[in-house]
Structure 1
Amino acid sequence: MVLENILLIISLLFVVSMLTMLSEKVGISYPIFLVIAGLLISFIPGMPHFQLEPDWVFLIFLPPLLYEAAWNTSWKEFWAARRPIGLLSIGLVVFTATAVAYISHAIIPGFTLAMGFVLGGIISPPDAVAATSVLHGIKVPKRVVTILEGESLVNDASSLIVFRVALATIETGNFVLWKAGVDFLMVAVMGVIIGLAIAHVLYVVHRFFPTTPSIDTALTFISPYLMYITAEHFHYSGVLAVVSGGLFLSFRAHELFTYQSRMQTNYVWQTVVFLLNGIVFILIGLQLPEVITGLNDYTVAELISYAVIISLVTILIRIIWVYPATYIPRMFASVRRKEPQQPKWQPVFIVAWAGMRGVVSLASALAIPLLVNGSPFPHRDLFLFITFVVILFTLVFQGLSLPYLIKWLKIEDDGNNADQENALINSRLATVSLDYMKSNYDGEIQDFEPFRLLKDRYEKIIEMADYKLLHSEDNASIGYVRKYRAMLLEIIEVKREEIVKLRQERACSDALIRAKEHELDLEEARLRRSP
């Protein structure tokens, strides 16, 4: 049995890798492609049923995925966008849960208001990975991505709190608004405190203990689980514990890690997060047999009408919320002073449209207990079906349409700003390097060719950066700079071909060839990361 489960997991990882490559080939975002593929696979006769256990998502998948997202989030940009992030991650979640609660209570016979809030808490949080992966490679303003990523860090916590309060109301039959509000604040604040407390302990370990790159990497994997489990043990928000701890350690990362630790940790995390995300999305599609079990009490027309209406409501509610939340605060003078530039309606629409639901919603639906007070939980199978359809509807419909909408609305990124920032940092770094060389190695610069060549290289970097800063608005100049970078990438490919010849000729040792390949890899990574 154990060997069969291991084989099943390995097969699933292989399928995820192959389907992700295929999604790149056909040009569809891999979360959408994997969900559709999982759905189609579930129709194959004889396929084993993959039951997504809520504990797997909340304990195994969610902490590292949240931690990785928090780690790669800029605290400066997160804090600068705190108002829209807060309005989306808390205000919109409560607004969506309330709207879904009243509408489902109105259209579904026997569906109480408390059940409506349970459903609203389940389907209110958009999925982080879905939105950012769809936007990957598409030119959109940086602030749009920051808002969507920041929202996804917090909205899981607020939606899970709404879900748990509503569930407790059904189980106990009691609901007191002020008490629910106090509990909400207590769960959120204590989750943040626990996350920051554990993050400070880990900071001391990374900073002052004799760690190695492997130990640092291992600790980064232990950290989110430690934060999440500790907070959940005391019935506080494990999500906010992971997010707050991850943001703190990310902000202090430059003090903690050597370059070896940073490189090794980044490579390992990229692989693990890719596999976790892939498994999660293909499992969503594979849940169809589990979802349709027990739906015999409803007609097909009823099921479709309920699911489609609530799916449309979740999309419309986000659009209705986003525009007033964007423009109304700007009526106040204090907000106008801080943000004098009025946002265009097109990027705001992308924020409103990028509300794809994902695995947290499905895991929450599956976490609904089978029994309540000794009786079967009412409409549990309907909860699962509606949640599944909302995920499919938003992920496929909104996700597939998003790139075309961006193109149709002619939304462009703020790339010129990024070019200027890149030129500025290159100029500053090259300047301090040149000053240091002249102060400490002036004699060697005069007498030895390698020192002179390095000095000339830094002077060229400064010259190129100054050129980009002076001609940042000149489209022809920007074109030449980008063509120059393209030439450098082509030269790297020429070098790679020559290394292949050297390997075939056995003119150099394999160790030296691998070292040179690594140098080219780092150089290519630097060039491709440049704006």
Structure 2
Amino acid sequence: MGSDAALVVLAIVTAVVLAVVVTVVARRSGWSAPLMLVALGAIIALFPGVPAFTIDPDIILYGVLPPLLFSAAMRASLIDLRTRRDPILLSSVGLVAFTVLAVGGVGWLLVPGISVAAAIAFGAVVAPTDQVAVEAVTRRAGMPRMLSTILDGENLLNDATALVALNSAIIAITATITPVQIGVSFVLEVVAGLAGGLVVGFVLGFVRGKLAAPVLDTSLSLVAPYAAFLLAQVAHGSGALAVVVAGLFLGYRAPSFQSAQARVAEELNWRTIQFIVENLVFLLIGLTLPHAVRAAVDSGIPAWQLVGIAFALLAAVLLSRLIWGVVVTPLFRYGPARMRRVGWPWVTVVPWTLSGVRGVVTLAAVFLLPASTPDRAILQLFAFVIVIGTLLLAIPIPRVLRAAGLVVTAFDQERIEAELLMAEAKSAGLELVRTCADENTDPRVLERLTADAEFVSASVDAGPTPTGDSLNIAYAELRIRLFEAERKAVLQARAEGRYQEAAVRKVMHVIDAEETAARVLRHGDS
């Protein structure tokens, strides 16, 4: 038993190390890390002695999906999502329904022996795009803020729509269900999901606001996605929707109930969790791919026919998205004023279409198909092909954006806005200090605070430095070099034994915090 546990731990450690190595190579080479991990997993699975990997859908559904959705929702902007709600709702609800019917129809026509319910279920499996996969292939594409916001909102919400449709189709596979029952079930799942997410958000927000220790606060943060998912599931609601709602609520309200330390720790924790889990999932897809291929071949359908059907289904996924984009674009060009304000030009359709990458949700959903589903093994292989195919189709997105003239330097735009906002915040803080200052306030303290605020304001009005950067960026660059010298001095003092370890750690924490702020100002949230 001990040896089995050791092998499991060794496998997990090895997988994490591989994910880190592959990600480093992908970032330096410009390749797609998800595709590299899938290929690496498939190669490993072919080695002699490597056991056949199978996936327990409950582990993906209950263990993997909630933290990934929650992490993405925490970092999403509720304000931006509200501003772009029309295209987001059209994509996350209307497009999902259209894709379910289109892909389901193609599957029903081409897959031998498949029932209508099973074909619709497969359409629901491959309908949702994946937040993690889309970010993995587009984070360096330099997408305009409008397009990236719409993709973020679509990816967050279409999981719930597709999973609700999948649940209804699964019921239809094993029992008789009417369209009215499907509609009622959909509404109930949405309402229960929304309610579950809001309840968890309110309760955890209230409780975490009473906790002074960042460790306790972030510990409850780790519980949030699972609490929301399970509560919604118990209430027969959409667990995915509940997690998204809870994440959006807590992410938006965090500054009002969390300390700065808790927010920094929570963000770092969730970024780490997302990185590990998302990369392990892509590696897992590769590990299970050879088993899925063998199972499909054993079905008796000729290989050439399997290949043809797989490409036809991939084409249906892509074309349904492209057609939907062509159909709804006139609404944003010539429709009501509210929709015209979205700013959705025709050239956006192609990069938006290519950004419809499938990933974790499709992987989890295809294994939810009941064992009685006709051609279940074949459908699993087709789902894998669509995940890999959409990852490949997303590779030329940066070139497409450049060709369409849509590339913007998002970081420069955000940096300018951040400097303007920082100047406003500094001015407001300085005004408060001046108001509260009395005869006991040391003039040197007030002078330092004033100089800091005035420097930030001057940076906004001043032109670029000789290096082309703003004053704030030049200041951040020099401060980073300053912190490096300070850190060396502290470590030297510790090596000489001139200060107690508690003092050394406290000073190091201060230097680290200030350096982190300077690096965020210089590089952004990378």
Give the structure-1-normalised TM-score.
0.89
Aligned with residue 480 of structure 2, among 492, 495, 501? 492
Moved more, 227-236 or 489-498: 489-498
Stretches of structure 2 that go unaligned for 5 or more consecutive residues are none
Query: 1:472 aligns to what?
Result: none
Residues 129 and 358 in structure 2, CA contact (< 8 A), matched pair in contact too: yes
Aligned with residue 76 of structure 1, among 72, 76, 79? 79
Query: 2:460 aligns to what?
Result: 465
Moved more, 496-505 or 283-292: 496-505
Query: 2:325 aligns to what?
Result: 322
Query: 1:473 aligns to what?
Result: none
**Which residues of 2 match residues 136-285 of structure 1 at below 5 A?**
136-172=139-175, 174-207=176-209, 209-285=210-286
Deviations 1:8-54 (A, max 9, x none): 22222222222222222222232232222222222222223332211
Task: Report how far residue 369 of structure 1 moved.
Answer: 2.1
Q: Which secondary structure does the structure 2 equivalent of 1:294 belong to?
A: helix
Deviations 1:266-289 (A, max 9, x none): 122221121111111111111113
Residues 97 and 120 in structure 1, CA contact (< 8 A), matched pair in contact too: yes
| Alpha-carbon spacing, 1:519–1:46, altered in 2? closer, same or farther (3 Å) | same
Residues 228 and 239 in structure 1, CA contact (< 8 A), matched pair in contact too: yes
| Alpha-carbon spacing, 1:502–1:248, altered in 2? closer, same or farther (3 Å) | closer
Query: 2:368 aligns to what?
Result: 367
Residues 62 and 226 in structure 2, CA contact (< 8 A), matched pair in contact too: yes
Residues 31 and 130 in structure 1, CA contact (< 8 A), matched pair in contact too: yes
Q: Does 1:431 align with 2:427?
A: yes
Aligned with residue 117 of structure 1, among 120, 127, 130? 120
Task: Report how far residue 450 of structure 1 moved.
Answer: 5.1
- CA distance, structure 2, for counterparts of residue 407 and residue 322 of structure 1: 19
- CA distance, structure 1, for counterparts of residue 143 and residue 513 of structure 2: 32
Deviations 1:359-396 (A, max 9, x none): 211221122222x3xxxx3211111111111111111x
Task: Report how far residue 483 of structure 1 moved.
Answer: 7.7
Q: Does 1:480 align with 2:482?
A: no
| Alpha-carbon spacing, 1:316–1:438, altered in 2? closer, same or farther (3 Å) | same
| Alpha-carbon spacing, 1:443–1:267, altered in 2? closer, same or farther (3 Å) | same
| Alpha-carbon spacing, 1:515–1:440, altered in 2? closer, same or farther (3 Å) | closer
Query: 1:29 aligns to what?
Result: 32
Aligned with residue 394 of structure 2, among 387, 399, 421? 399
| Alpha-carbon spacing, 1:43–1:404, altered in 2? closer, same or farther (3 Å) | farther
Query: 1:12 aligns to what?
Result: 15
- CA distance, structure 2, for counterparts of residue 457 and residue 489 of structure 1: 16
Identity of aligned residues (%): 27
Deviations 1:172-202 (A, max 9, x none): 1x24222211211111111111221222222
The number of residues matched between the two structures is: 513
Aligned with residue 517 of structure 2, among 503, 510, 522? 522
| Alpha-carbon spacing, 1:23–1:480, altered in 2? closer, same or farther (3 Å) | closer
Task: Report how far residue 477 of structure 1 moved.
Answer: 8.2
Task: Report how far residue 514 of structure 1 moved.
Answer: 5.7
Q: Which secondary structure does the structure 1 equivalent of 2:31 belong to?
A: coil
- CA distance, structure 2, for counterparts of residue 513 and residue 108 of structure 1: 63
| Alpha-carbon spacing, 1:116–1:264, altered in 2? closer, same or farther (3 Å) | same
Matching residue's letter, 2:291? E
- CA distance, structure 1, for counterparts of residue 357 and residue 63 of structure 2: 22
Residues 422 and 530 in structure 1, CA contact (< 8 A), matched pair in contact too: no
Moved more, 294-303 or 484-493: 484-493
Query: 1:105 aligns to what?
Result: 108
- CA distance, structure 1, for counterparts of residue 129 and residue 525 of structure 2: 30
- CA distance, structure 1, for counterparts of residue 275 and residue 462 of structure 2: 39
Matching residue's letter, 1:404? R
- CA distance, structure 2, for counterparts of residue 60 and residue 24 of structure 1: 28
Q: Does 1:412 align with 2:407?
A: yes
Query: 1:384 aligns to what?
Result: 380
Query: 1:43 aligns to what?
Result: 46
- CA distance, structure 1, for counterparts of residue 72 and residue 193 of structure 2: 17
- CA distance, structure 1, for counterparts of residue 202 and residue 437 of structure 2: 41
Matching residue's letter, 1:349? V
Task: Report how far residue 484 of structure 1 moved.
Answer: 6.1
Matching residue's letter, 1:51? T
Q: Does 1:130 align with 2:151?
A: no
Task: Report how far residue 159 of structure 1 moved.
Answer: 1.0
Residues 195 and 242 in structure 1, CA contact (< 8 A), matched pair in contact too: yes
| Alpha-carbon spacing, 1:79–1:484, altered in 2? closer, same or farther (3 Å) | closer
Residues 39 and 288 in structure 1, CA contact (< 8 A), matched pair in contact too: yes
Task: Report how far residue 294 of structure 1 moved.
Answer: 2.6
Aligned with residue 456 of structure 1, among 451, 454, 457? 451
How large is the RMSD of aligned CA atoms in angstroms? Answer: 2.6
Deviations 1:305-359 (A, max 9, x none): 0101111110111011013223225433xx3256446422233322121011112
Q: Which secondary structure does the structure 2 equivalent of 1:260 belong to?
A: helix
| Alpha-carbon spacing, 1:337–1:358, altered in 2? closer, same or farther (3 Å) | closer
| Alpha-carbon spacing, 1:499–1:329, altered in 2? closer, same or farther (3 Å) | closer
Matching residue's letter, 1:503? L
Matching residue's letter, 1:237? S
Task: Report how far residue 452 of structure 1 moved.
Answer: 2.5
Moved more, 451-460 or 155-164: 451-460
Residues 334 and 340 in structure 2, CA contact (< 8 A), matched pair in contact too: no
| Alpha-carbon spacing, 1:294–1:426, altered in 2? closer, same or farther (3 Å) | closer
- CA distance, structure 1, for counterparts of residue 39 and residue 400 of structure 2: 21
